[in-house]
Structure 1
Amino acid sequence: MRIMGIFKFDEIAFNSTEKKKPVDEDKYTYLGLEHLDSDSIYVTRYGADVAPKGEKLIMKKGDVLFGKRRAYQKKVAIAPFDGIFSAHGMVLRPKEDVIDKDFFPMFIKSDYFLDAAIKISVGSLSPTINWRDLKELKFELPSLEEQRKLAEVLWAIYDMKDKYKKLILATDELVKSQFIEMFGTEDNHPEDVQFVKLGDIATYINGMAFKPDDWGEQGLPIIRIQNLTGSGEAFNYFDGEYPEKVEVNTGDVLISWSASLGVYLWQGEKAILNQHIFKVDFDKLEIDKYFYIYAVQQKLEEMAHKSHGSTMKHIVKKEFDNTKIAYPNEELQIRFADFVKQSDKSKFYG
């Protein structure tokens, strides 16, 4: 590959900072970070019920939108129309004498760019990237001719993966409909299916609160929310004493209850759990863990509506414990769990 050179980021991209105070009609073309998906460069959700408050960035169709707040979530998308974008993001445009316009979105979406950008995030609760730091980062770029060739190949691969993702989503809908058909809902379910509170099924052990001074490069990995969400965030390590209850081993079920609600089957090595994540101890009722994971996933949206806080959303433990999931007999649990694993193994092992 022919290398064109090494460039500072402000030699590669424009950071458009033009803003406006939204009027009512802007609610139809508003994009917030919540509309961007970490695993897709395409936008499928947009708009708000009312005009957003505060100044927002003006975006043009084709601009590359980058979530600078909590950048470890790796939210990058192409603006599908002219509109306004969250001030917690950046509106980026290519400098076409240095980077090809079709290659540019793939570059911003790449781990090469994102990993470097994430490292300069500042702040603990909501790490944010500042333009003054980002613009100084240096990146190596191939020649424009090579970029055009790469763009053609990368877009072909990306679009093929996007079609596969849509197939997976269709599979998800099939599984969801099968779940409802077999177990019903909390208000309407077969007589032989109970709906049981999460707090009556298991004990939920919260992780340890670590200070940045506790982090190191040796010892056991510390599991943080960003290590569960697939953001590619590197582990920090802890080499000290800890209560045995926060130790996590392969096969443990974990639930993040703050910032990003989710339920996961841990497949990594022995580790230590950070705060804001529960380890599930199935000490109350017999339940297939794979069935449990799927049943809890069906309740995440409901729990999100009950979440509290402005800076970091979280669900209160009492409300979490009182959330009910389907609890059929063991045979039905295993039958459904096997159906899910056959339909989409990545649900549990990805």
Structure 2
Amino acid sequence: MEEIIEKAASELQIDKSLWSLTKFGDIAIQQKQSVDRDNTELTRYVKGEHMGSEDLHLREWGELTDEYLGPAFIRKFEKGDILYGSRRTYLRKVVIAPFKGITSNTTFVIKANEKRIDKRLLPFIMMSEGFTDNSIKNSKGSVNPYINWKDIANYEFLLPPKDQQAELAELLWAMDEVIEREKALNEVTINTKRSFFKKYRSATNYKPLSYFCSVSYGLGQPPPKDENGVPMIRATDISKGKIDTENFLRISSKGIPKGRDVQLSKGDIIIVRSGAYTGDLAMITKECEGAVAGYDLVIRSDERKINPIWLQEYLLEKEAQNYYNGESIRSAQPHLNSRQVLETLIPYHSIEIQNRVSDYLKNFYKCLESSNRKIMVSKALQKSLINQIF
């Protein structure tokens, strides 16, 4: 199925000679129905942070009883409406509501004008480069830029005839189905890995991290930049066991103070020391060997006592993450120091058990890497397809 869709997408020849120049406001209708939250049957709300970037599917939301919501949360949406984040539009937050609920007045609620457009096509227009570029260009403000409805309503693009719209919508949604199926498989693998590792998250005996590892500080203030220099790993490069190598800051090796042991080795674990992602971490792979740590902390394992793969898996689990969260919020700005990390309690298992478990974990990681690669390829193809059409 995937191969057929990819072949169809790659061989797509689009004749736009019969397409008509159309304003977005002619095919999209803004909904502005307000809700009295104290007198409504609606139970769910959607915030901007619930909406993922470049993801049409809503995967998180809140219940009205969960927390206090500010006075801006008055906008009603229906199942099937499109929710569009009008602030920081470069984030491309466009989702299709899977239920009815409430959102803030800074989130545009949009219905398709079905006399002019197949409603299945509308969200893909909003994901296109042309639409996003128009939103960014017309945004007001610098700290938290926002777009007005009239500015996106005036956006012009070529719209295919109704019969061709249906064909294109089917192709785009088939591509989306491929991505969602791969994501579901990815989630199954993650849950299976967690179930497998669960029994190793506890033990009859615990030891502080200091028994197994040393902890050191990264460079702190970066030396001068150098395009051909040494990569420096920062907090923004780290996400739940993964390191994003695409946007490394490169620094001059001459600027690294002599005597500072900040060069990273395979198996080191770098842990975010401060800010919103305090406690997040990732293990250094062969690809990142030789990079240096920025402001964050580096855990170096004594591999006679602990397997770094096993350790990373445990430190990403809720027991360790809850500890880091509790320690970090003691200061005004979330923050961890080396002492707090060294005091992390680790369930004690023999190195033989750890090595055996780590071999299984490596197989899970390979499956996830393969799955993530497929998702990336499919998303790139979908993005290319959207921009080819619009």
Q: Which aligned pairs between 1:256-335 and structure 2 lie closer than 5 A? A: 256-257=272-273, 258-260=275-277, 262-266=280-284, 273-275=293-295, 277-282=296-301, 286-299=305-318, 302-303=322-323, 306=326, 308=329, 314-317=334-337, 320-335=341-356
Kindly tell me: are residues 60 and 27 of structure 1, through their superposed partners in 2, closer, same or farther at Cα, counting changes over 3 Å?
closer
1:130 equivalent to 2:146? Answer: yes
Kindly tell me: are residues 252 and 45 of structure 1, through their superposed partners in 2, closer, same or farther at Cα, counting changes over 3 Å?
same
1:167 equivalent to 2:185? Answer: yes
Please give the secondary structure, in 2, of the residue aligned with 1:254. Answer: strand
How far apart are the structure 1 equivalents of 2:39 and 2:335? Answer: 32
Match of residue 79 from structure 1 = 97
Q: Contact 1:341/1:348 (CA < 8 Å) preserved in 2?
A: no
Match of residue 43 from structure 2 = 28
How far apart are the structure 2 equivalents of 1:82 and 1:274? Answer: 45
User: Deviation per CA, 1:221-270, whole angstroms, max 9, x where unpaired?
Assistant: 55454444499996374554345655557765333353235333455566
Matched AA of 2:215: T
Q: Of residues 179, 193, 209 in structure 1, which corresponds to 2:197?
A: 179
Deviation at 1:298, TM superposition (A): 0.7
Deviation at 1:79, TM superposition (A): 1.4
Matched AA of 2:308: K
Q: Could you state the TM-score of these two structures normalised by the residue count of structure 2?
A: 0.63
User: Deviation per CA, 1:62-85, whole angstroms, max 9, x where unpaired?
Assistant: 233345667777654321222122
Please give the secondary structure, in 1, of the residue aligned with 2:43. Answer: helix
Deviation at 1:297, TM superposition (A): 1.4
Q: Could you state the TM-score of these two structures normalised by the residue count of structure 1?
A: 0.69
Q: Contact 2:230/2:250 (CA < 8 Å) preserved in 1?
A: yes
Kindly tell me: are residues 319 and 347 of structure 1, through their superposed partners in 2, closer, same or farther at Cα, counting changes over 3 Å?
farther
Matched AA of 1:314: P
How far apart are the structure 2 equivalents of 1:208 and 1:327? Answer: 32
Root mean square deviation, CA, Å: 5.0
How far apart are the structure 2 equivalents of 1:221 and 1:146? Answer: 48
Matched AA of 2:160: S
Kindly tell me: are residues 221 and 73 of structure 1, through their superposed partners in 2, closer, same or farther at Cα, counting changes over 3 Å?
farther
Q: Of residues 38, 52, 72 in structure 1, which corresponds to 2:69?
A: 52
Please give the secondary structure, in 2, of the residue aligned with 1:345. Answer: helix
Q: Of residues 261, 270, 273 in structure 2, which corresponds to 1:254?
A: 270
Q: Of residues 201, 208, 215 in structure 2, which corresponds to 1:196?
A: 208
Kindly tell me: are residues 194 and 150 of structure 1, through their superposed partners in 2, closer, same or farther at Cα, counting changes over 3 Å?
farther
Q: Give the number of aligned pairs.
A: 338
| Structure 1 gap ranges (5+) | none
Instruction: Give the greater-gyration-radius structure (CA).
Output: 2
Q: Contact 1:5/1:141 (CA < 8 Å) preserved in 2?
A: yes
Q: Contact 1:203/1:280 (CA < 8 Å) preserved in 2?
A: yes
Sequence identity, in percent?
24
Q: Which moved more, 1:9-18 or 1:95-104?
A: 9-18
Q: Contact 2:206/2:347 (CA < 8 Å) preserved in 1?
A: yes
How far apart are the structure 1 equivalents of 2:36 and 2:102? Answer: 9
Please give the secondary structure, in 2, of the residue aligned with 1:202. Answer: strand
Matched AA of 2:322: E
Kindly tell me: are residues 297 and 237 of structure 1, through their superposed partners in 2, closer, same or farther at Cα, counting changes over 3 Å?
closer
Deviation at 1:335, TM superposition (A): 1.3
| Structure 2 gap ranges (5+) | 1-13, 373-390
